[in-house]
Each structure stands twice: as structure tokens, then as C-alpha cells.
Structure 1
Amino acid sequence: MSLRNLKRIHKTIGVRITLWYLAIFSLSFLALFSILYLYISSSLIMEDHQRINSKLKELVSIYKKNGIEGVREELDIERGTGRRMRYYVKITNRQGRTLFIYQPQEMKGLRIRSIREANSDRLSSLLQKIDIRTYIEVASTTLPDGNHLIVGRSNRERERLLERFRETFGGVVVVVIILGFGGGSIIAFRALMPLRNIINTVKRIEGGRFDARVSVPRTGDELEELSLLFNRMLQRTETLIEGMRSALDNVAHDLRTPITRLRNTAEAAITGNDIKQCHEALSDCLEESAEIQRMLNTLMDISEAETGVMRLDFRRIDLSLLVEDVVELYGYVAEEKAVTIEVDLEKGLHINADEGRLKQVVANILDNAIKYTPPGGRVTVRTGLMDGYAFVSIKDTGIGIPEEELPRIWDRLYRGRNVLTQKGLGLGLSLVRAVVRAHGGHVDVESGLEEGSTFRVSLPV
């Protein structure tokens, strides 16, 4: 995927996040307004119904005592106090003929017949429409003498309050949309900042900056995990590239001498007339090619192990039995050189490891110990458990390693001054450390000139 497409996706994601946030924010506000509106509206309706029912009961009580005149006097008194009359009152006989009617000022001009009158014994609320939004709510009851009392109240005042509430919502919703869009933009900007960092890092890598890394946000979320994983991928890629570059440099440098010898030997075979010499030259060519092949294989193994691409067949193995097999293999070599091998192996020491590679590690260290120990010397091999790690310790009484050379013995193709006369490539210990690290372990050495050496390989249990 090109950077242009990645940038376009980033912009699209940012817009989507903003719109989603705006939609959720606006819908949440709308839901809150709807709930609040319904609550206020129902509360006002209940309050109006309670007033109508209370007025109905009050007028029934007055009617029982003083009849229609008592109701008329009560309404005149209320009107005389200057209070705005909000109740419609009507008394009819059993045949429905009107005996008394009181019509509030706000209902003037309305046709009385447009009001549906209820002749029920129980209190009820009936909606009588005056216009689209304004209507009269009425309740009725049967009086003791058989007449009917109807009390009504307009919802106009309630509608005015609700209308103001709706108008307020209309003004607030604009502010909500602006806040939602602004908040969504800020959230999208902050949320996509790691993605922008990745884009910028990819651009730097395209420019040759293979050491570029993404800044990791300390948020504890998926974006932090994405940044960490991206940096690990970059680190592994850089390690692979450096490993390949280093391997190519080493191969180019160290193959020059054996290839030159191989060429010289081949030229000598071509120019020579002696059949025996030709056969010897061809034999030397085979040896040189085998040496080159061994060097290449070892270098590739080291590079694969160091870069993490070496295929390891992890199995549950007995470390002590593995070491015992390697010691038995090198027993004849040690006997020929008059070097004694002593073993102290802890039984039942199981670990997860690649058996073949681990044998290669132990064999390399043990081979060096025998090779650099003079006749009559001793090599001690131990296994055990320490600090949660299984270890293999190989100690010899050989020539030792100068202290100043200890940090360099792990370098590829490095050979100490006191071992230059011995045959070798200088790759064994590099391979040992690379394979041990690939197993999640570590290898340590203690040595001094003419004091012998102790190598300890520690592997997780």
C-alpha cells in the first residue's frame, strides 16, 4: 500500500470518527431532550388533571350545600378577586339541557357544542380540541339530584411553556452540533496521532533512516500496543538487515583467502605435468571447497540465530542425557590427547530446546576445552539448576584466555593470539552464543591466562 493511499485512509478514518462522534453526541442529546420533554409534559398534564379534579370536588361540595346559586356565587367571588379564571363550568339536567354555564375569557367565541360532554359517574379526562394544539380537558360527575357537573380547563398555558422549551431546544441544538463536531475532531486528531507517527516513520524509513522508530503513547490502549508492535517489527527488520549486511561483509572478507588458495591450487594443477601432483591439487581443492562450505553454513547459522529466523524444533529433553551423549562422543578424542573428562550430571533435568542445536553448542565448547588443554589436563562437565535456569558448566585446565580478549571471543572469525597456531575458523563461540540466545538463555565465561576457562550455558527451564 502506497503512502498516498495510507494517507487517504487516515483522512477518511478521521472524518468517520468525527461524524460518528457527532452523530452519537447529537442522538444522545436528542434522547435526553425527549426524555426530559416527556417528563415535563406528563408532569404538567398530571398537575392540570389534579387541578380539574380538585375543582370538580370543590364545586360538588358547594352544590350539595347551596345548589346552583352556591356554585354561581363561588365563581363570582373568584372572578371578583381579579384572578384569571381558567375553568369552564357547566351544569346540565338529566335530559342534557343546560342549567348553568360559566365560560372563561380565553374560551370566548368557541362553540359550546364543540365540547364533548361526559355523563359518567366517575371522574374522567376528555380531550376536546379547540385547534391543532390547544384543547380543553374536562371531567364530569353526576350530582346527588341527578344533574351533571362538568369542569374543564384549557391546555393553552401548558402549551406555551412547552413551546418555549421546544424553542430553547432549537437554539441549543445548534450549539450541540458545533460542540459535537469540535469534540469529534479533537478526539479523532488525538486518536489518530499514533497512525500519523507511523506514517511519518515509514516516510523516514523510505528515505533510508532504518533506525527510525514510532513514539509510543502512554495510554495503555490498543494504539499503544500497535506502536509497540510496529517498533518491534522495525527492530527485527533492522536486525535482519544488519545481520545480512554483516554476514555479507564477513563472507566477502573471509572467503578471499580460501578462494585465492583454491584458485592457486587449481592453476597449479592445470600447469603441472605430474599426474600425482594433479591428484594432490584436486584433493586440496576439495578440502578447500569443503572448508568454504563449512564456513558459509556456520555463518548462515549464526546470522539466522541472531536475527531470530532460525527454525528451532523445541521439544522436552533431558539436558543431562544430552550432555552425556556429547561427552561420550568426545571421549576418544580426549583419551588420544591424554585429557581426563570428569562429569557431574544432575539427573532428570528437563528443558524445552532443540536437541540438535543444543548438542552443537555443548560440542563446540567441549571441543575447545579439549583442544586447548595440554596433555595430562582435566575437563570437568557439570549440569544443574540455579536461579530458575538449567546450566551446563564446562571447566578446563587449559591455556586460558587473556582478560583483555574476553569481550572479543564472541565476535565472528576472531581468534586469540595464543591459539593462532591451532586449526579453526573462529566461528564456534559466535555460533554458541547465537544459538543459546535463540533459546532464551545466556552464556558466560570466566578465564585467565594459564588459569584455564569455565564456560557456563544457562537455559530457561
Structure 2
Amino acid sequence: MTFRLALAYSALFVVSYAAMGGLAWWIFVTSPLAEVRGTVLAEVQALSSVYERKGASALVAALNARTEKPARRRAFHALIGPGGEWIAANMPAPPPLVASPWFRFEFETFEHGLARENEAYTYERRFPDGTRLLVARDTEDVDEREELIGQAIGWGTAVAVLLGVLGGVLMSRAVGRRIDAITGTAERVMAGDLSGRVELRGTGDDFDHLAETLNAMLDRIESLIQSVARVSDSIAHELRTPLARIRADLEELDGAGDAATREALIAQANESAARLQSTFDALLRIARIEAGRHALAADSVNLSALVADAAELYAPAAEAEGLRLDSDVEPGIRVWGDRDLLFQAVANLIDNAVKYTPPGGSVRVALAREGARARIGVTDDGPGVGADDLPRITERFFRAPAQAAAAGQGLGLALVDAVARCHRAELAFRNESPGLAATLRLPLAN
């Protein structure tokens, strides 16, 4: 790849130089010659008209007048009769016979005893009687520039190729080192070392931006893998207890003699099995929502009625626990989403608040518009969550150490987080000292 990069760099360098050379050629050679061509052609037409109307003597007078007339480019001419005799000319030698009427003619002239090289851009007009009229303008300066630019393009192209190859090799080596660093980090990660990161050079170039993006991705992957490991451990822990109870109940059932004992053991085993079923159902539902496999029954949802219903549903449970549940719901708020999932999310937030609020405390449920979003807030007077544990509060089976003894599976807030993400909502938690405040922000329905 680096070799191809060096070739591409060299080709780009050469093409750029060639383009500059071509532009210089057009400005200093092609354009001036086109200007001379236009001037000579206009003169030929005018002189031909003189010959055709007034004859050779008038044409000779016009040619002499043209020569004496001041001009930026020196005028040359030759009038040759049908038999090859020179009628009038200021060219020192006859021009070559060519098939094309346009040609460039090189010759020497002498001024004050000094030889001077000339190149004339010449047009030849042949009249029906065999007379030849040659009209030219000096283009020696263009010829010199043409030779100079040609040499510059030739030598410059060689130098450009050399510099392009050298620059391409140096650039490919630099790029190769950066790519090797990224490849090495990727190989370390594939080998199982998730701590590997791409080194930043501090140059702020595209490779540094790529390295920052890759490092952020690796940080996220490491965090997710650690989370998966914690969830796996939690699943094993959560399932071990009910499975052990079911096994113990079955072993006791095998030796139980009276019917009452057998019925009690069967009921206890059924309870443990129901807990297992509930755990698996919750895990499956979260996984389906996160993977996008849960078909959302998306519709315009009256969120005000939904939040009020959820608060009303948990009012008896809160009263039974000696709590006060207050609700402040702004009417007429609608969002777009799955009503069942949104109700489950709001219910889980309220259930979590009721579960961890001590007797005599209060739970507050609020819904209000906040710009282009609906803001659901659930606040309690419980112990809150430690600052170190707050970022993990939505992990499956996570429970803060102070709340480990509370009833539940540790999946409620994980489900709320999954529902929030599939509805493009924002879920946030903060400690209120005392208590925990949960906030869910959803886009309003248009």
C-alpha cells in the first residue's frame, strides 16, 4: 500500500508540474503565436485585395509602407513572380516550398554589420497567375521562450519525478508508521488486551483524530465487556439461589410423608420457578428492546393520562408502606411512542422510588413541558445512591450495597433505560440529599 501511495504522490506531483508548464506554454507561446497569426492573416487579406485591384506595383508600394510602419514585431515580406523572380522582398533568402500556407521560417539579417537571428511566422498566398506573396512577422522572442520553456519542462519534469518519488517514499513511510501503530493496537485488542490504545502524536492531524475515535471506541468496548462480565456474574448469582431452592425442595419432596408438607414444598418450588421465569422474561424483553427486535406499537400517546394512571396505580402500595405519593401532571401532553412500554417505564420509576423510600417519606411524580420535550420527574426521600454507583444504576441486576437487601430483581431501571433509548429519550439520575431524582425527557408529538 505504501508503495502505491508513493507512486500516487509522485504522479500527482508530476501532473501538477506539467499543468503549470502547460499554462506557461499557453501564456508565453501559444497565445502570442495566435495573436501574430491573426495579424498576419488580416494583412494578407488586405494586401491580396490591393494586388487584385491595382496590380503588382501597388502591392510593392503597400509592402514597403508596411515595412516602414512602426510595429512591435518586425514585418517581413516577399513577392515572387510566376517564373521565380524576386519582385520585392526584405527576406535575405527564399523561404522553403511547403504544402501548408502557414510555416515558421528562420533566417539571419544584418544590421550595422551585426548578424541577427530571426524567426518569422509566415503565410504564403498564391495567386492564380502563379505569383507568390509571403507575409510574415518576427517571432524570435516567442521562439526563445518556447525553447526556454521546453527545456524547463523537460528538466523540471525529471526533477519533479525525482522529488515526487522521494517525497512519496518519505510520506508513505510516515503514513506506514502511523498505520502500523493502529494495526499493532488492534492486534493487541484481538489478543485479549483491552487496555491497548493508539498513541496520539499531538499534531492534531487526521491520524490523531482517527486515533481519538478508535480510543473512544475501545473505551466503550472495554466498558461494555466489563458490563457484560458483571451482568454474567449477576445472572449466575441470581439464578443460583432459586435453582438451589428448587433442587432442595425436590429432594425434600421425595422423602416427605404427609400431604401438607408435600403441598408446602411444591408451592415453594413453584414460587422459585416463577421467580426464574420472571427474571428470564425481563431479561428477554430488555434484550429484544435493545436489539430493536421488539415491534413498537408507535402512536400518539396521551402522556398526561399515562403518568396520572401510573401514579394512581401505585398510590395504594405507597399508602400501605406509610408513604405519601404526590403527583403534579400538566394536562394535554402527547408524545409519539409505544404506550405499553412507556407505561412500564414510568411504573418502574415509581416502583423503584416507593421501594427505597422509608416509612413516613414521600414520592413525587411530575410531568411538564420543557421546550420541545416532555419532562417526567420521579423523586423520593430514600437513601439515594453513592456517587460511584450512580453511573451503574441502569445495569442489569445492579444494586447499590446499601440496597442489596431490598426485594426485586435489579432489572427495573435497566428496562427503563432500554425503553428510553428506543424512544430517543434522555434518562438521568441525580442524588437529592436525601433521595434520588429520576428524570425522563421524551420528544413531544408534532
- Shorter chain as denominator, the TM-score bin is 0.5 to 0.7
Cα deviation for residue 25 of structure 1 reads 3.4
Matching residue of 2:18: 30
Partner letter of residue 414 of structure 1?
A: R
Distance 1:35 1:266, change over 3 A: same
Gaps of 5+ in 1: 1-10, 75-84, 118-123
Cα distance in 2 for partners of 1:161, 1:372 equals 92
Cα deviation, 1:294-344, whole Å, max 9, x if unaligned, reads 334446667888xx5466736543322211222333345456667664432
Distance 1:155 1:433, change over 3 A: closer
1:459 paired with 2:441, answer: yes
| 1:320 equivalent among 300, 304, 307 | 304
Cα distance in 1 for partners of 2:88, 2:323 equals 134
Cα distance in 2 for partners of 1:153, 1:337 equals 112
Identical-residue share of aligned pairs (%): 23
Distance 1:236 1:317, change over 3 A: farther
Cα distance in 1 for partners of 2:33, 2:321 equals 109
Question: 371-380 or 351-360: which moved more?
Answer: 371-380
Matching residue of 1:127: 103
1:266 paired with 2:242, answer: no
Question: 192-201 or 321-330: which moved more?
Answer: 192-201
Distance 1:200 1:413, change over 3 A: closer
Cα deviation for residue 394 of structure 1 reads 4.0
Question: 224-233 or 23-32: which moved more?
Answer: 224-233
Gaps of 5+ in 2: 68-73, 108-118
Matching residue of 1:444: 430
If the length of structure 2 is used for normalisation, what is the TM-score? 0.66
Cα distance in 2 for partners of 1:284, 1:20 equals 75
Q: How many residues align?
A: 400
Distance 1:391 1:407, change over 3 A: farther
Cα deviation for residue 136 of structure 1 reads 8.2
Distance 1:34 1:274, change over 3 A: same
Aligned to 1:330, the other structure's residue is in SS state: helix
Question: 19-28 or 318-327: which moved more?
Answer: 19-28
Is the 8 Å Cα contact of residues 194 and 216 (structure 1) preserved in structure 2? Answer: no
Is the 8 Å Cα contact of residues 90 and 102 (structure 1) preserved in structure 2? Answer: no
Cα distance in 2 for partners of 1:129, 1:402 equals 104
Cα deviation for residue 356 of structure 1 reads 3.2
Cα distance in 2 for partners of 1:391, 1:116 equals 92
Cα deviation for residue 167 of structure 1 reads 3.2
Is the 8 Å Cα contact of residues 247 and 300 (structure 1) preserved in structure 2? Answer: no
Matching residue of 1:431: 414
Please tell me whether Structure 1 or Structure 2 has the larger radius of gyration of its CA atoms: 1
Is the 8 Å Cα contact of residues 330 and 367 (structure 1) preserved in structure 2? Answer: yes
Cα distance in 2 for partners of 1:36, 1:417 equals 81
Cα distance in 1 for partners of 2:97, 2:269 equals 121
Query: What pairs up with 1:291-310 in 2 under 5 angstroms?
Result: 291-298=275-282, 309=291
Partner letter of residue 23 of structure 1?
A: A
Cα distance in 1 for partners of 2:356, 2:96 equals 121
Query: What pairs up with 1:150-169 in 2 under 5 angstroms?
Result: 162-169=146-153
Cα deviation, 1:367-403, whole Å, max 9, x if unaligned, reads 355556678876543322357653334456xxx5447
Is the 8 Å Cα contact of residues 304 and 331 (structure 2) preserved in structure 1? Answer: yes
Is the 8 Å Cα contact of residues 389 and 460 (structure 1) preserved in structure 2? Answer: yes
Is the 8 Å Cα contact of residues 216 and 227 (structure 1) preserved in structure 2? Answer: yes
Cα distance in 1 for partners of 2:264, 2:409 equals 27
| 1:414 equivalent among 381, 394, 399 | 399
Cα deviation for residue 447 of structure 1 reads 4.8
Query: What pairs up with 1:57-76 in 2 under 5 angstroms?
Result: none
Is the 8 Å Cα contact of residues 36 and 137 (structure 2) preserved in structure 1? Answer: no
Matching residue of 2:7: 19
Cα deviation for residue 46 of structure 1 reads 5.8
Is the 8 Å Cα contact of residues 28 and 145 (structure 2) preserved in structure 1? Answer: no
**RMSD of Structure 2 on Structure 1 (CA):** 5.3
1:137 paired with 2:122, answer: yes
| 1:250 equivalent among 205, 228, 234 | 234
